[in-house]
Amino acid sequence: MTRIVDLPTPALIVDRQKFDANVATMAAVRPGLTLRPHVKAHKSTALAAQLAAVGHTAFTCATPREIIGMVQAGLGSDLLLANETVDAQRLRAMAALQGAARVTVAIDSETTATLAAECGIKDVLIDVNVGLPRCGVAPERAAALASFAVSLGLNVRGVMGYEGHLMAVADRDEQRNKVRAAMELLVQCFDDVRGQCGDDCTIISAGGTGTFNLYDPSDPVLARVNEVQAGSYALMDSHYGALDLPFEQALYVVGTVISASDGWAVIDVGLKSLGMDHGNPTIDGASVWFCSDEHITFSMKDGRPLPSIGNRVIVQPAHVDPTIALHEVIHVVDQIPMIGVLSSGTDTSETVAGGKVIDVWPVNLRHW
């Protein structure tokens, strides 16, 4: 039996009980095809299969590699590349899969539309800028782009708009109002686009983990968003964990104490095993001083004793997506017994009871 304390470190672990609870919570609000889970959050077909098993069989992808890998894993019933690409080689590779899967590509310009058509892509969504200064056509040009796409023989399935700038708004009422304003733009674009397209134009796709439950079915605007592109909800991180969301932290990185000095300790988890764009990771009961390539230096709070060399430490990452992309596998644990400092690998006490590794999910969609 492999336990958490037996794993070579740094190691990525998932608490199976918390993962299942998160998946069930989301499915109760966004069942079946009303959720299009985002593969970029985990880059694992094994994890995606867990979501498909509860009815979420349409997926959002961020890279062509994710699209191709999902099809190869038999998870290609309805895949959306929610990202623009002008790489003809990758567009052709995705187009070649269309007999075995439904592949839809986001477009936000005549250039991306033209390349998609020339490379054999059949289905597209009009990506609309609803406030995040990233990709997306200006709302007033969405209908013209849809008309241009149709003239190229492309099938426009609808519109998408990512209000990513609103995911972490702390005040829920403020967030709801701003999301509604963004969705007013998107819904109007859909109505404008719909007149240019055929009967298959039905999708209004938006949102993420931070806004998944704001699409009020009684609101004439918000109710029209018919699929949400959430991904982090299944695993969570400290960035989303700071918000009032009904999901639990399920993903952690395990490190080993390799040095303990007068007042601080060091573990073998660092920049090469953590996504750091949302700030430092968290260690329960400790103050993280800083992270370097291979190390986290930390001290203990409230007079707690420093861990001993060889002890395992559970680290909570601040951003789940880039953290997972740095690891080859996710170790699935029946239940993480405690968060913070665990006993050493030779300890068989109750401290480590329940920390059994029950599965391994390859992170097989990493890289480009």
Tokens 């060091």 — which residue?
266
Q: Report whether pLDDT(306) > 90.
A: yes
Is residue 197 domain-shared with residue 297, that is, in the same domain? no
Average the pLDDT over 249-270 and give the result.
Answer: 96
Are residue 221 and residue 248 in the same domain, yes or no?
A: no
Residue 342 binned pLDDT confidence (cut-offs 50, 70, 90): confident
Domains of the chain: total: 2
The β-bridge partners of 316 are: 282
Positive or negative, the Cα torsion across 19, 234, 1, 283?
Answer: negative
For residues 175 and 167, give the distance between their C-alpha atoms in angstroms, rounded to a whole number: 8
Shared-domain flag, residues 185 and 306? no
Q: Write the CATH number for 275.
A: 2.40.37.20
The mean pLDDT value of the chain amounts to 95
- CB 168, CB 239: distance < 8 Å: yes
In this prediction, residue 349 carries a pLDDT of 39
Over the stretch 215-227, which tens digit does the pLDDT of each residue have?
Answer: 999 999 999 999 9
Q: Do 165 and 194 reside in the same domain of the chain? A: yes
Based on the fold, state whether residues 145 and 264 are members of the same structural domain: no
Write the CA distances from 2 to 352, 354, 355, 360, integer angstroms: 11, 11, 9, 11
Residues 175 and 274 in one domain: no
Question: Same domain for 218 and 271?
Answer: no
Which percentage of the chain shows pLDDT scores above 70? 97
Q: Which of 21, 10, 5, 55 is nearest to 246 (CA)?
A: 21
CATH (domain of 198): 3.20.20.10
Chain segment 228-243, per-residue pLDDT in tens: 999 999 999 999 999 9
In a shared domain, residues 122 and 159: yes
Q: Looking at the chain, how many residues does it have?
A: 368
Residue 234 located in a structural domain: no
Is position 160 within any domain?
Answer: yes
Task: Quick: pLDDT tens for 20-76.
Answer: 999 999 999 999 999 999 999 999 999 999 999 999 999 999 999 999 999 999 999
Task: Identify whether residues 325 and 270 lie together within a single domain.
Answer: yes
Q: Which residues contact 91 (CB under 8 A, 6 or more apart)?
A: 64, 85, 105, 115, 116, 119, 120, 121
Which amino acid, one-letter code, is at 358? I
Distance, CA of 258 to CA of 311 (rounded, Å): 8
Domain-ending residue, one of 196, 229, 262? 229
Lowest mean pLDDT among 231-235, 257-261, 308-312, 339-343: 339-343
What is the structure's pLDDT at 262? 87
The reply to whether 93 and 213 lie within a common domain is yes
Contacts 24+ apart (CB under 8 A), 46-50: 46/359, 46/361, 46/362, 46/364, 47/234, 47/330, 47/361, 48/73, 48/75, 49/73, 49/75, 50/19, 50/23
Of the three residues 166, 200, 229, the one that is the final residue of a domain is 229
Same domain, 120 and 206: yes
Range of the domain at 140: 31-229
Percent of the chain with pLDDT over 90: 92
Domain membership flag for residue 368 = no
* Residue 322: cis peptide before it, omega within 30 degrees of 0: no
Select from 203, 229, 255 the last residue of a domain.
Answer: 229
Q: Is residue 123 part of a domain?
A: yes
pLDDT digits (tens, 9 = 90+) for 323-341: 999 999 999 999 998 778 8
What would the pLDDT profile of 81-116 be if each residue is shown by its tens digit?
A: 999 999 999 999 999 999 999 999 999 999 999 999
- Residue 62 inside a domain? The answer is yes
What does the pLDDT read at residue 346? 42
> In this structure, are strands 251-260 and 312-315 parallel, antiparallel, or unpaired?
antiparallel
Q: Is residue 19 part of a domain?
A: no
pTM for the structure as a whole: 0.95
Bigger pLDDT: 345 vs 266:
266
239 within domain boundaries = no
In angstroms, rounded to a whole number, what is the distance separating the alpha carbons of residues 281 and 214?
28
What is the rounded average pLDDT of the residues 118-144? Answer: 98
Q: What local confidence, expressed as pLDDT, does residue 338 receive?
A: 77
d(CA 76, CA 359): 24
pLDDT at 354: 67
Tell me if 343 is assigned to some domain: yes
Q: DSSP 3-state helix, strand, coil percentages of the chain (rounded to 5)?
A: 30, 25, 45
Res 345 pLDDT > 50: no
Tell whether 95 and 202 lie within a shared domain.
Answer: yes
